[in-house]
């Protein structure tokens, strides 16, 4: 059976995981909550967003701690700037002795939109094209096609990634909560690292943030704002059930 492991803030990676399950079968498992044994699966498929030209912290940790010789397939997705994330990921798998078969990338709507807005027509266009872009990716996994990611001639992106990951934990320090907060505690529930708490009647952020932006995008009142900007646009992938983000599908 296929184990389809994913991390997802706004549902883009979950959408891809669901397409893979629909075509190839298997179980969908949410990486931050997975405490089982990856070797229980015949094929291991990991679906992850690209964060800052590399991997999200939790996916990096998951891969780094994996001990398996099962065939491993990785599907990254990003807002259009993959940089050298595929090579970085491929190389990490090789260093860890994993049986990496392919690292592929699919373009999905950009969610790192703290300081700019993605026009709606762009989001819709990317979503419309997604099924066609995902199809060959799934076929390569089904056919066990080996895809070697070559070393880039010059890599100015991976050093930037390694620098950026050192400051991710500080991102939430720039979040604040507006008067629109209804105290629903959804942000507390969905933060993948338990970085949001309610204390003395207030929502507060700790210092464990992994910069996933789940809370920012998914607060129903858009009450979490960045650097006090009152930007209105938020994004949740409309092709998934929001409640399934962060859940397993067995």
Q: CB atoms < 10 A from the CB of 91, how many?
A: 16
3, 26, 49, 192: residue in contact with ligand FMN (rule CB under 6 A) = 49
> Which one among 5, 30, 53, 175 touches ligand FMN, defined by CB under 6 A?
53
197 secondary structure, DSSP code: E
Least distance (Å) from ligand SF4 to the CB of residue 212? 4
Neighbours of 122 (CB within 10 A): 14
Q: Does 130 bind ligand FMN (CB under 6 A)?
A: no
Taking CB under 6 A as the rule, does residue 80 contact ligand FMN? Answer: yes
2 binds ligand FMN (CB under 6 A): no
Q: Cβ neighbours of residue 75 under 8 Å, at least 6 residues apart?
A: 16, 20, 45, 46, 47, 48, 104, 105, 106, 137, 141
50 touches ligand FMN (CB under 6 A): yes
Q: Is 20 in the site for ligand FMN (CB under 6 A)?
A: no
Q: Which does 80 bind (CB under 5 to 8 A by kind): ligand SF4, ligand FMN, none?
A: ligand FMN
The answer to whether 177 and 223 have CB atoms below 8 angstroms apart is yes
What residues contact 224, with CB distance under 8 A and at least 6 apart? 175, 176, 177, 178, 187, 215, 216
Distance CA(92)–CA(96), nearest Å, equals 6
Give CA–CA dist 216/226, Å, rounded.
8
Interface characters, 190-229, with ligand FMN (x: CB under 6 A): ---------------------xxx----------------
Angle between helices 157-165 and 85-95 (to 10 degrees): 70
Asked if residues 63 and 45 have their Cβ atoms less than 8 Å apart, the reply is: no
Report in angstroms how near the CB of residue 217 gets to ligand SF4 at its nearest: 9
Which of 19, 77, 84, 104 lies at the binding interface for ligand FMN (CB under 6 A)? 77
Q: Give the nearer residue to ligand FMN in terms of CB position, either 53 or 60.
A: 53
Assess 71 for contact with ligand FMN (CB under 6 A). Answer: no
User: Should residue 137 be labelled a site residue for ligand FMN when binding is judged by CB under 6 A?
Assistant: no
Task: Provide the minimum distance between the beta carbon of 25 and ligand FMN in the complex, in angstroms, as a whole number.
Answer: 21
The verdict on 57 binding ligand FMN (CB under 6 A) reads no
């Amino acid at each position: 059976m296929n184990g389809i492991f994913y991390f997802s803030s706004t549902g883009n990676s979950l959408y891809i995981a669901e397409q893979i399950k629909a075509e190839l079968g298997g179980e969908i498992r949410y990486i931050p909550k997975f405490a089982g044994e990856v070797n229980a699966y015949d094929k291991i498929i990991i679906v992850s967003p690209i964060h800052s030209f590399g991997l999200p912290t939790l996916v990096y940790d998951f891969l780094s701690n994996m001990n398996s010789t099962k065939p491993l397939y990785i599907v990254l997705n990003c807002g259009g700037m993959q940089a050298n994330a595929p090579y970085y990921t491929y190389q990490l798998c090789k260093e860890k002795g994993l049986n990496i078969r392919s690292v592929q990338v699919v373009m999905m709507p950009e969610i790192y939109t703290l300081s700019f807005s993605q026009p709606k027509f762009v989001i819709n266009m990317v979503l419309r094209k997604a099924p066609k872009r995902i199809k060959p990716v799934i076929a390569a996994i089904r056919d066990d096609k080996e895809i070697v990611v070559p070393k880039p001639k010059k890599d100015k992106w991976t050093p930037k990634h390694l620098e950026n990951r050192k400051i991710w934990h500080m991102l939430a320090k720039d979040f604040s909560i507006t008067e629109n907060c209804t105290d629903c505690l959804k942000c507390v529930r969905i933060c993948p690292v338990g970085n949001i708490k309610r204390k003395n009647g207030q929502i507060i952020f700790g210092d464990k943030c992994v910069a996933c932006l789940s809370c920012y995008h998914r607060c129903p009142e858009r009450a979490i704002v960045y650097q006090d900007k009152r930007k209105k646009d938020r994004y949740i992938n409309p092709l998934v059930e929001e409640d399934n983000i962060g859940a397993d599908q067995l």
